Structure 1
Amino acid sequence: MTKRHAAATATALTLALTVAACSSGGDGADSSATSATTVSHIHGLGLDPSDQRLYVATHEGVYTPGADGDPQLVGDSKDDFMGFTVAGDKTFYASGHPTSGGNKGLIKSTDAGRTWTSLSLSGESDFHALEHAHGTVYGYDATNALLRTTKDGTTWKDGAKLEALDIAVSPNNPRLVLATTAEGVARSNDGGRTFTKGKQPVLAFLSWKAKDALYGIDTEGALNRSSDDGATWTKVSTVPGGQPQALTAIGADHVLAATQDGVYESKDGGRTFTKRLAVESSGGH
């Protein structure tokens, strides 16, 4: 595959996922969750370690379950939160687009998403994937097709140029970074400065919380698990609800996945899922 073809294919994969995930519909809906807030697209998931509350980053703000279990907007921002990661108790990093347009760069919240502070790259970068590990923020800057890292949120190190959709960082090795590409999972052994060519399987999203529990989900919702740093993969199950939109591992056997009709949770390594929050996708990006 030529470099130009690879880039075009990666872009096509990204667009296909975005369009499919943002369309209405879905299957496998849990009848126990009958009400839903409609949003265009879910971009990120996380649990606050302080209280295990679920947070869902979407095209129209960050949501959390309210007193009645229905999605409730956190704070008053309805900006598009593209990249999103929980770094600690009530501490989140995010990126995306203001409702007025442009790029947010890297932003941070220390009150569980109620308010946000701009840290760096405002107007310059849109991180579609963010991970916090080893005291470092790893970000995939979709504006510049670039892997970047920062320890203080303001000073960045630029890594490899690549067309990717998601990234994951080894919980045991800060130099081992994986990225999903159109060719498969690409690997970096130098903290994201260089990546190998992607290898099968082709996955949409990755999440890596425990050394022997790397999770990946493909475009059809098939959840895969690797216990050898991504060298081999085993299909565990298919997440209900249609096209995948986000994936977050909380622990070795605790996984959150967003599909077209809501957020699903597994506490048995992905073998079974229950709906945690009903959030319907309906058009837009």
Structure 2
Amino acid sequence: MNNSRKWPLTATAVLALTLVMTACSSDPGVGTAATEPSVPALSHVHGLGIDPADNQLYVATHEGLYTPGVDGAPQLVGGSRDDFMGFTVAEGRTFLASGHPAPGTGGPGHRGLIESTDSGKTWKTRSLAGEADFHALEYAHGTIYGYDSTNGLVRVSKDGVSWEDRGQLKALDIAVSPDDPDTVLATTADGVAKSTDGGKTFAAGKQPVMAFVSWAKPDALYGIDTSGGLKRSTDGGTTWQQIAVVSGGQPQALTAVDAGHVLAATQEGIYESQDSGKTFTKRMAVSGSGH
């Protein structure tokens, strides 16, 4: 394992990220979301993605992977009701995930890395079953980057089978620079921590404290804070500009599909923006306390 630095976590920051993970707050927030649809609600959202093969929205939850049905209601994809913790769309029809088996289905408590090549209908284990619980997964530069919450490690793999253990830290989410495979960001209780050696070591976290980050283009790094405030950085996280506040209280997930297309999940809904986060439309309802 590579050496990395660890830092004490301030009480305020620890509380902030704890609130995100438990979603204790019920503040409605402010924003420009559409009227809530009268459809069954999702709960415990852990990941969001758009499949470029069909431009379909996918929502990874505590009880399976869902997509909007014809009437907008959540529709279970495939038959799995596993707890999908880490989730990312790697490419068309190819998804990567991690998590835990649904009650009564057997298997190891930690799924390790699992993969679907049919847009989430079926899954197969790639590696680390029983060993790793990735709460964040990124696919960039032909490489899988994961934050293994069980071991507090950033782990990296080219093939999804063999892994290199890199830096150790306490984080909630990671993001990888779209133009530099060695630049990795992690959201910590002290702020956003930066690595310039592929996640082997991280500098101390810098304010603001973010719950989740997503890096779509070199000049389009998005972050959402613990109150749902959406920010954008055009300089890799050195400075941030507040764009909007996403409705629904504590955030549960954030994905920047591209520079202008942003998805966010809060305690109350799945929101989508097509104008770089300036306005959001509510796509699906959410009910429950997230992580």
TM-score (norm 2): 0.91
State the 1:151 CA deviation.
Answer: 0.7
Cα RMSD of the aligned pairs, angstroms, is 2.1
User: C-alpha displacement at 1:130, in angstroms?
Assistant: 0.3
Structure 1 counterpart of 2:245, from 238, 242, 253: 238
8 Å CA contact 1:25–1:281 kept in 2: the answer is no
In percent, how many aligned pairs have the same letter? 61
Residue 222 and residue 277 in structure 1: after superposition, are their counterparts in 2 closer, same or farther (change >3 A)? same
Q: Distance in 2 between matches of 1:7 and 1:149?
A: 28
Query: How many aligned positions are there?
Result: 282
Change (3 A) 1:10 1:124: farther
Q: Give how far 1:36 is off.
A: 3.4
User: Does residue 1:214 correspond to 2:217, yes or no?
Assistant: no
Partner of 1:79: 82
| Change in CA separation of 1:150 and 1:238 when aligned onto 2, cut-off 3 Å | same
**How far apart are 1:215 and its partner, in Å?**
0.2
Paired residues of 1:24 and 1:281 also in contact (CA < 8 A): no
Offset of 1:277 from its aligned partner? 1.8
Instruction: Mark the CA change 1:25 to 1:73 in structure 2 (over 3 Å): closer, same or farther.
Output: farther
Structure 1, residues 103-154: CA drift from partner, whole Å, max 9, x if none?
A: 0000000000010000000011100000000000100000000000001000
Matches within 5 A, 1:136-155: 136-155=143-162
> In the alignment, what sits opposite 2:65?
62
> C-alpha displacement at 1:40, in angstroms?
3.4
The answer to whether the 8 A contact 1:239-1:257 is kept is yes
2-structure distance, mates of 1:158, 1:111:
29
Q: CA, structure 1 residues 94+215, in 2 after alignment: closer, same or farther (shift >3 Å)?
A: same
Is the CA contact 1:82–1:96 (under 8 Å) kept in the aligned structure 2?
Answer: yes
**Residues 150-189 of structure 1 correspond to what in structure 2 (within 5 A)?**
150-189=157-196
Question: Which sections of structure 1, spanning at least 5 residues, go unmatched?
Answer: none
State the distance in 2 between where 1:38 and 1:88 align: 27
Amino acid at match of 1:75: G
In structure 2, the residue matched to 1:201 is: 208
Letter in 2 for 1:238: V
* Normalised TM-score (structure 1): 0.93
Contact (CA 8 Å) 1:39, 1:59: kept in 2 or not? no
> Is the CA contact (8 Å cut-off) linking 1:65 and 1:72 kept in structure 2?
yes
Distance in 2, Cα, partners of 1:275 & 1:48:
19
Aligned pair partner of 1:88 in 88, 91, 99: 91
Match for residue 49 of structure 1?
52
Residue 276 (structure 1) aligns with: 283
Residue 125 of structure 2 corresponds to which residue in structure 1? 118
Structure 2: distance between partners of 1:105 and 1:248? 22
